Structure 1
Amino acid sequence: MERGDVRGHYEELAAEYDEHWVYGPDYIPWMSGQISEALRLSPTNRIADIGSGTGLFAREVARQLQPRHPILCVDPSEKMLRQLGTPPPPGLTPIVASAEDIAEGRADLPYEQVDAMWLKESVHHITDQPRTLRGLADRLAAGGRLLVVMLPATIQYPLFQAALDRFEELQPDPAHIQQHLSAAGLDAGLTHVEHELRIDRDKYIGMVRARYMSLLSTFSDSEIEKGIEEMRAAHPEPVLVFPDRFAFVLGERPGENV
């Protein structure tokens, strides 16, 4: 997708975004806990969520962590950030900027350096991944950590086949992201986490129709409806059960935080 298309997709989805992404009551706390654990977050860390959207995960991390410094919710969509509320909740600071803006110093941040940052399912929107990830790595303090959370190269979602095929064509390889972080001077490693999703079939079809994944915005209305017919035929069961597997690519800047 082109950058303008991506931004327009999320602008249109902003008001309904949380509804489409909260699969169930356990998902957000689980993923937020996985992010906190992987980044070894502490209340004294200066933290940034790059591509935060509506702040679904930053809000939960802040609730669990009670940070002394507000978590920076960085996103290019002002409409998405507005969903944080006015004023935003304690512990969160919205920043209207893209990952590239942060990487290239075009956005002012309240922290000169950060101790931890994460990108949750947004790295595939970055055009020049090596350059942008290097720029983000340069914003880390000594001992700072950068976590890229992304879907693997293949997924087992109950989508229609054309969507699954297009996903595989467009999705970056997590191993390449690990290489980019290593080239940026970080000690990088790759692990995986998995969570079982159980979701009402009709709700999931509604999410697909609303194009809850940016991938789906590359299909026309008629293609989406044809795909939904295929999904209904392939999945007559009322509740869909499938694994949500994520690659966690973690890079750490050498040195110790002080």
Structure 2
Amino acid sequence: MGRRDVRGHYDGLAAEYDEHWVYGPEYVPWMSGRISEALRLGPADRIADIGSGTGLFTREVARQLRPSHPILCVDPSEAMLRELGAPPPAGLTPVVASAEDFAERRTRLPYEELDAIWLKESVHHVTDQARTLRGLADRLAPGGRLLIVMLPATIRYPLFKAALARFEELQPDPTVIQGHLRQAGLETHIGHVEHELRIDRDRYLGMVRARYMSLLSTFSGSEIEEGVEEMRAAHPEPVLVFPDRFAFVLGRRLEESA
């Protein structure tokens, strides 16, 4: 999808986005905790969540961390950011901007430098990944960290076959993303985290119909319905159980020498 299509997809999904992504009561705290641990976040850090959407994970990080500087929730979709509330929760500041805007300094920010930046499942929407990640790296303070949370090149979701095949065609390889961070001058590391998901089958089929993943917006309504029927036949069990595995690609800017 082009950038306009991606923005339109999320604008349309904004009101029900959290409902689709809160798989269970433990999921958001679990993922938010893994992000905080990987970035070694501290209350005094200046932080940005690029592609924050509704702030689903940012809110939980702020709740756990209690930051002294508001975390920047950066997203090009005003509809998604409106779901933060008016006014937004304490500890969060919405910023309407794309990752490219942020990297190219086309957006004014309250912080000149940042100590930590993360992108969760949004790097595949970035058009020029090498250039944008280099720009994000340049916004880091000495010792600053940049974390890319992304699905691996293959997934074990109970989706229909055409969706899984298209995912593999479109999803960037984490090692390529690591190479971009290294070329941007960062020390890099790749790790993986995994969480077992248990979702009522009918609820998951409804999520697919609602195109909860942007990937699913590349299929027509009839293709989605055919896919749902394929999934229904392949998974007669009432509860779907499958692993949600993520690559954590971490870059760290070196401390400046004295």
- Is 1:120 the counterpart of 2:126 in the alignment? no
User: What is the match of residue 250 of structure 2?
Assistant: 250
Cross-structure match for 1:21: 21
- 1:78 counterpart residue number: 78
For 1:104 and 1:65, the matched residues in 2 are separated by 28
The count of residues paired between Structure 1 and Structure 2 equals: 257
| 1:217 paired residue number | 217
Q: Which amino acid aligns with 2:25?
A: P
Alignment of 1:85-124 (within 5 A): 85-124=85-124
The Cα of 1:79 is off from its aligned counterpart by: 0.4
SS class of match (2:233): helix
Q: Distance in 2 between matches of 1:198 and 1:210?
A: 19
Partner residue in 2 for 1:186: 186
Letter in 1 for 2:141: A
Q: Tell me by how many angstroms 1:196 deviates.
A: 0.3
Superposed displacement of residue 87, structure 1: 0.1
Q: Distance in 1 between matches of 2:136 and 2:64?
A: 25
Shift in Å at residue 64 of structure 1?
Answer: 0.3
Quick one: distance in 1 between partners of 2:165 and 2:225? 17
* Structure 1 unpaired stretches of 5+: none
2:85 match: secondary structure: coil
Query: Letter of the aligned partner of 1:129 in structure 2?
Result: Q
- Residue 195 (structure 1) aligns with: 195
Runs of 4+ in 1 over 2 A off after TM superposition: none
Task: Give the 5 Å matches for 1:145-156.
Answer: 145-156=145-156
**Counterpart position of 2:160:** 160
Query: In structure 1, how many angstroms separate the alpha carbons of the residues matched to 2:49 and 2:192?
Result: 20
Query: Take 1:195 and 1:183, find their aligned partners in 2: how far apart are those partners?
Result: 31
Q: Is 1:136 aligned to 2:136, yes or no? A: yes
Which residue in 1 is equivalent to 2:170?
170
Partners of 2:77 and 2:2 lie apart in 1 by 15
Match of 1:51 in 2: 51
TM-score norm. by structure 1 comes to 0.99
Q: Percent identity?
A: 80
